[in-house]
Chains A and B, each alone.
Chain A
Amino acid sequence: MIEIKNISKSFDEAKVLDDITCEVKQGTIFGIVGSNGAGKSTLLRVISGVYDPEAGSIAYNGTELDNKLINTPDILFLSDEIHYEPSETINNLSKRYKLFYNNFSDGKLNVLLEMFNLKRNTRIEKLSKGMKKQAVLSIALACQPEFLFLDETLDGLDPIMRINAKKMIFDEILERQMTVVIASHSLKELEDMCDNLAMLHEGKIVVQGNVDSLKGQLIKIRCAFEGSVAKEDFKDMEIYSIESNGKLYTIVASGDEEKIKAKISGMNPMYIEVLPVSVEETFVIRLQLAGYGSHMDWRSEK
């Protein structure tokens, strides 16, 4: 388990991480999403020991990371830009990792590379961006670390390879309770694979929680009214946005679904329908509420 408590980090004057607290349970996948510059990569670097935090603490299975002075957990961090030597082959790169990860399995690497249709003696610089990611992910999984941190590793993979990659990760989790923290700016990449998600915005966690519970946090209702409806008519409801298209309104609100539905029904709509809310929509709304893209005032619109 990873316990991240009140982590802060600044670069020069800019605060990149601001009092981040979250928890990653053993054998789960924790997703970090956020806009560009939100602090996702920095957070990964801090928890993997590349950067020292200014404040706060990180504990692995109850043992503090202590700036990697005395102990370091069995971490493997794949940054978004992988370092490899100009003439390095997949095999050479795997040997480099093998030096540091005692559980490295050549057999597993062979299987994984086969799944991606890659060969050990291929020079890494010859591979496409997506194939490089497949190669290093294979090596990382062959290392069998206890904690795997992936920074946008699955971004850019084609759909089939992405399914393969996810399967590989799931297998590792099932097999040996590996803990994965994965960062991406694309919620779609993570929505279907993470147990827990945290959304970062300007160095702060805007929202975090179990993916299923996050989905239920917001309700989207589409309804149509005979006459015009004023904003004040919804004042006793916790409304996040109202979109209107003629007589048709789309309302996003939070709270108990039945109660909200009952209230709107009390306003005599011509038509009312509850729509599913995706995690992405939930996050986008949360982000907007946190000020990202604030030029669009969703609350006051229409």
Chain B
Amino acid sequence: MKKFFDRGIFIKTLRELFYLNILLVFIGAVLVVLTRETAVHQMMGYAGRSISYNFAGGALIFVAILGGFALSATALSFTWNRKKADFEYALPVTKGALYASKALAVISSLAAVMAIITGLGFALSVKYLGRFVFVSDMLSDLLNSFIFALIIVGAVFLAASVTGKVLSAGILSIGIITIPLLLPVIRYYSMLRIAGFDDSMGQFILIRRSLYLPINLLLSQAPGINFNRYLGGILFSFFLAVAYLAFGYFLFKKRSGDLTGNHTNSKLLHYIIMALIPFAMLNIATISALDYKLEIIFRKTRYIYEMLTYIGASIILMFAYDLLVHRKLRPKNRIIWLFIPLALAAFLLNIGVQDLVLNEQEKDIPTENVKSVNIFSYDEVFSIVFVSNMMPYGYINASEVDITDEEIITELVSLYNERKDEDWGNYMPAFVKFNLKSGRSIYKWVFLDNDYDYPTDTFVGNTFTKIQQLPDYSEKFYDNISPNNVATVSNKEEIVNAKLEAELKEVYTVFDSEYDALPLEEKVMSVDMRGHMPTEWLLNKREVAVVGKLYVRGRVSGLDVVDTYFITFDYTPKAAISYMEAVNMMNFVDAETVIKGIEPGAMGNIRHLSLSFLNTEEPMEDAMVFNRKDDLEAKYFFRAIDALRENGLKEPKADSIILKLQYYDGNVGNYMDIYISVAEDEMNELIDIYNEWQESRE
């Protein structure tokens, strides 16, 4: 007789879980296949959020939740089924071994299921993206999702150790999973109460991302290769899962089989389970309420109504629980216990509303009251903004830098004060913290007008260009990789990592030899590739070059770090068509639609068009920029479009003039480049239109 493990229980549980495992793998596989297009989209990174996503990411999270509950519930069915309890409890196996062996079987099953799904995701990633995929991404996502599943398993095992009905175990386990969500809220709240500390939302985001893994997974992207950033949350979650399982182990050893079929053997525990229903809901509600502050328009009434809905739903759930479990309503009894959720609700409302109301008081920010600003962002915003400067995620560290430059402050304040809440398609949001001279800080979205704030060649506004040039900001921005391990990192389209140098040289060599072998027009088209970093993927799949990623490895605080930088690649004419075909798969517009469909009403969100002639004697980048700002400009804009439409797509010839057409499509929120070839007279026609327009402006 072994004290902690029994092979018989382990094998028996694995057998019981077998068909469920098959079902989970099937569900995971279907999800992986169904979401592959989104994954391609994400991986290509054109719409941001490109880091840390893989083909299996979504499926893994889903399977972690579903599998965590379903497998645990199946393995523990004897805790609410009397017939099974008679069998399992009477076996010549110690209670400790019964619990531990079942837990191990569930964990092993989950690991196997999730590994298979990861493998499938990896295979699909390779198929779609070639060697652009990193095994470390996959393993990182697998680890994160698996630890999340462990938390669920731990919570269910813990709950089943003190309850005897599936409903009670379900509610209690959800409560156990949800309780740690309160930790960041409490920490945030206590920080608010510390004299002089008023840094609210930004801290909350950071705390939220670092503390508890389920929050990261459910409310943010899966950590993926930003492993180091989430390491705190991952470790916390792991220890939490182990603690749940260990606590459940000790409680299970005291669990008598006669608990089976009863909700709990403790009245106090019963009330805890009852209180957890509204608690769990309000907890999630509070976190979502705090997230409201990230929105441009806060509607207090909407927030209050939503909270009331959550409270109402909690009360209904409590009575539904009574009806289902006790077959009767017990209003008097419940009124007492409703004080707990209502008191909690008041507490949480206080947290949420207080700050929101305070924040809302200042509709306009007086420039003279602002001492400094910090630039935050939220998810994909800055990854788009900084795409051409290859620094997508440095803002997290750079946000610590107090920017005191008066010109920048004035510009950002005016951007906020002149905000337009509608017409998202033509504005790009950025998240800014204004530090007031009074000592308080407020967080606001500022919206950058795409027509005016972004020069069309870089997409980065003058304001942000200035910000990036600040030495402190720049230093912080590149802080992810330790300077000891990275030779140089700059925002001048060149990243050299000491560890990758040899590798890159090799890539360059291959690239150069292949480049030399290119026909003239393709060579010309690739001219601005020379300035960028080619990747192996580009070399292997030149035809579908879109936006490249360069992974830079280094060490931070003794841990291996992989960070991602974006690199834009331009296309060969063939690549342009291939690319449009590729993106068409993802519901983007195809090349023909772009050319033929740009007219008032049809592609109403296309705001500007830049035309560059690349193989003229002197490449004229941004030679002609047409905007659709007003009717006058639109007139020339559409004339240019008409001229292009007549020509259509043509196979480039040796004497063709290659024209780079770049446009912003508000419908899909993306910038796109395509290349077309035009004859000289066609080019002249376009130039005439442009000149005419320029003259009319003068």
Contacts and interface: CB of A to CB of B under 8 A. Distances in A.
Interface in A46-88: 48-52, 67-77, 79, 81-83
Contacts of A79: 83, 86-87, 90
B208 interface: no
Interface in A203-228: none
Nearest to A101: B92
A48 B85 CA distance: 12
B257 A45 contact: yes
A49 B90 contact: yes
Interface in A148-184: 149
B81 A100 contact: no
B95 A69 contact: yes
B202 interface: no
B253 interface: yes
Contacts of B82: 81
A69 B85 CA distance: 16
Contacts of A45: 86, 89-90, 257-258
Given A77-B86, A79-B83, A71 B1 contact: yes
B299 interface: no
A79 B83 CA distance: 8
B91 interface: yes
A50 B93 contact: no
Indicate the member of A48, A82, A83 with the most B CB atoms within 10 Å. A83
B83 A99 contact: no
Nearest to B12: A99
A83 B83 CA distance: 5
A96 interface: yes
Indicate the member of B9, B95, B258 with the most A CB atoms within 10 Å. B258
B1 A51 contact: no
Contacts of B1: 71-72
Given A69-B253, A77-B86, A81-B83, A99 B95 contact: no
A100 B93 contact: yes
B331 interface: no
B656 interface: no
Contacts of B86: 45, 50, 77, 79, 81, 83
A93 to B, nearest CB: 10
Interface string B200-234: 00000000000000000000000000000000000
B333 to A, nearest CB: 18
B96 interface: yes
Interface in A120-149: 145, 149
A9 B259 CA distance: 13
Contact of B94 (A11, A48, A71, A76): A71
A70 B90 contact: no
Nearest to A74: B92
Contact of A70 (B7, B12, B87, B94): B94
B83 A82 contact: yes
B92 A72 contact: yes
Nearest to A9: B258
B83 A51 contact: no
A56 B3 CA distance: 23
Interface string A27-55: 00000000000000000010011111000
Interface string B68-110: 0000000000000111111101111111100000000000000
B90 A99 contact: no
Indicate the member of B1, B7, B91, B253 with the most A CB atoms within 10 Å. B91
B367 to A, nearest CB: 71
A49 B89 contact: yes
A68 B254 CA distance: 10
A11 B258 contact: yes
B256 A51 contact: yes
A100 B8 contact: yes
Given A52-B256, A83-B84, A99-B12, A70 B93 contact: no
A51 B8 contact: no
A100 B1 CA distance: 10
B11 interface: yes
Nearest to B253: A69
Indicate the member of A11, A81, A100, A149 with the most B CB atoms within 10 Å. A100
Contacts of B87: 79, 83
> In terms of DSSP, what is the predominant structure of the interface of chain B?
helix
B3 A100 contact: no
A50 B253 contact: no
Contacts of A69: 94-96, 253
Nearest to B10: A99
Given A79-B83, A83-B83, A99-B11, A51 B94 contact: no
Contact of A68 (B7, B84, B85, B95): B95
Indicate the member of B8, B84, B87 with the most A CB atoms within 10 Å. B87
A144 to B, nearest CB: 12
B96 A51 contact: no
Indicate the member of B90, B256, B257 with the most A CB atoms within 10 Å. B90
Interface string B236-262: 000000000000000001101110000
Contacts of A100: 6, 8-9, 91-93
Given A11-B258, A100-B8, A50 B85 contact: yes
A80 to B, nearest CB: 9
Contact of A75 (B11, B90, B95): B90
A50 B257 contact: yes
Interface string B1-19: 1010011110110000000
A48 B96 CA distance: 16
Contacts of B95: 67-69
B358 to A, nearest CB: 53
B92 A75 contact: yes
B90 A76 contact: yes
Interface string B317-328: 000000000000
Indicate the member of A9, A50, A73, A75 with the most B CB atoms within 10 Å. A50
A121 to B, nearest CB: 18
Contacts of A70: 3, 94
A115 B40 CA distance: 65
A77 B90 contact: yes
Contacts of B3: 70
B90 A48 contact: yes
B89 to A, nearest CB: 4
A99 B84 CA distance: 16
A69 to B, nearest CB: 6
A294 to B, nearest CB: 29
A96 B12 contact: yes
Contacts of A101: 92
Interface in B1-57: 1, 3, 6-9, 11-12
B94 A72 contact: yes
Contacts of A49: 89-90, 257
A74 B85 CA distance: 17
Nearest to A16: B258
Indicate the member of A73, A74, A77, A145 with the most B CB atoms within 10 Å. A77
A51 B1 CA distance: 20
A45 B85 CA distance: 10
Contacts of A52: 254, 256-258
Closest 4 CB pairs of A and B: A99-B8, A77-B90, A83-B83, A79-B86
Interface of B: 1, 3, 6-9, 11-12, 81-87, 89-96, 253-254, 256-258
Interface of A: 9, 11, 45, 48-52, 67-77, 79, 81-83, 96, 99-101, 145, 149
17 contacts: A45-B90, A48-B89, A48-B90, A49-B90, A50-B89, A50-B90, A50-B257, A51-B257, A67-B254, A68-B93, A68-B94, A69-B95, A69-B253, A72-B91, A79-B83, A99-B8, A100-B8
Given A81-B82, A81-B83, 7 more contacts: A48-B89, A50-B257, A52-B257, A52-B258, A77-B86, A83-B83, A149-B90
